[in-house]
C-alpha cells in the first residue's frame, strides 16, 4: 500500500467521520428545536397561570374580602346586642324562682277559694 492509497483511505475515513458528526449535529439541532418549542409552550402556560392568579387576586379583593368584612361587622353587632352568658344564667335562675313563687301563690289562692 503506497502513500496515496493511505492518504485516500484516511480521507475516506475522515469524510465518513465528518458525515456522521454532521448527522449527529442535525439530530441535536432537531432536538434543540423541539426543546425550544416545549419551552415556548411552558412559557405560554406560565403566562396563563399568571393571568389566572391575577384574576383570582382581584376577585378575592373585590368580592370575597368585602363580604368577609360584612360578616365580621354582623358578628360584632350580634355580640353587642346579645346578652352575656352570665346575665342569661342569672335571669334563668330568677325565672325558676318566680315560677316556683307563682305556683305556690296559685296553690294558696286555690286553697283559699275552696275554703270560702
Whole-angstrom Cα distance, residue 10 to residue 3? 10
pLDDT in the model for residue 46? 97
Higher pLDDT, 53 or 87: 53
Which pTM does this prediction carry?
A: 0.47
In the chain, the percentage of residues whose pLDDT exceeds 90 is 64
On average, the pLDDT of the chain sits at: 91
> Model confidence over 1-19: pLDDT tens digits?
788 889 999 999 999 999 9
Cell 307563682 maps to which residue?
102
- How much of the chain, in percent, has pLDDT values that exceed 70? 100
Q: Give per-residue pLDDT as tens, 66-84.
A: 999 989 988 888 888 887 8
CA–CA dist 67, 60 (Å, integer): 10
SS3 at position 1:
coil
Quick one: pLDDT band at residue 27, thresholds 50, 70, 90? very high
Question: How much is the pLDDT for 76?
Answer: 85
Q: What are phi and psi of 59, to 5 degrees?
A: -65, -45
Checking if the pLDDT of 114 tops 90, the result is no
Amino acid at each position: 500500500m503506497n502513500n496515496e492509497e493511505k492518504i485516500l483511505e484516511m480521507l475516506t475515513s475522515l469524510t465518513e467521520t465528518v458525515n456522521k458528526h454532521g448527522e449527529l449535529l442535525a439530530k441535536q439541532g432537531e432536538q434543540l428545536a423541539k426543546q425550544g418549542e416545549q419551552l415556548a409552550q411552558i412559557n405560554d402556560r406560565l403566562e396563563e397561570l399568571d393571568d389566572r392568579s391575577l384574576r383570582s387576586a382581584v376577585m378575592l379583593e373585590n368580592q370575597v374580602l368585602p363580604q368577609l368584612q360584612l360578616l365580621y361587622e354582623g358578628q360584632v353587632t350580634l355580640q353587642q346586642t346579645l346578652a352575656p352568658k352570665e346575665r342569661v344564667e342569672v335571669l334563668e335562675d330568677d325565672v325558676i324562682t318566680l315560677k316556683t313563687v307563682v305556683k305556690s301563690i296559685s296553690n294558696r289562692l286555690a286553697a283559699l277559694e275552696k275554703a270560702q
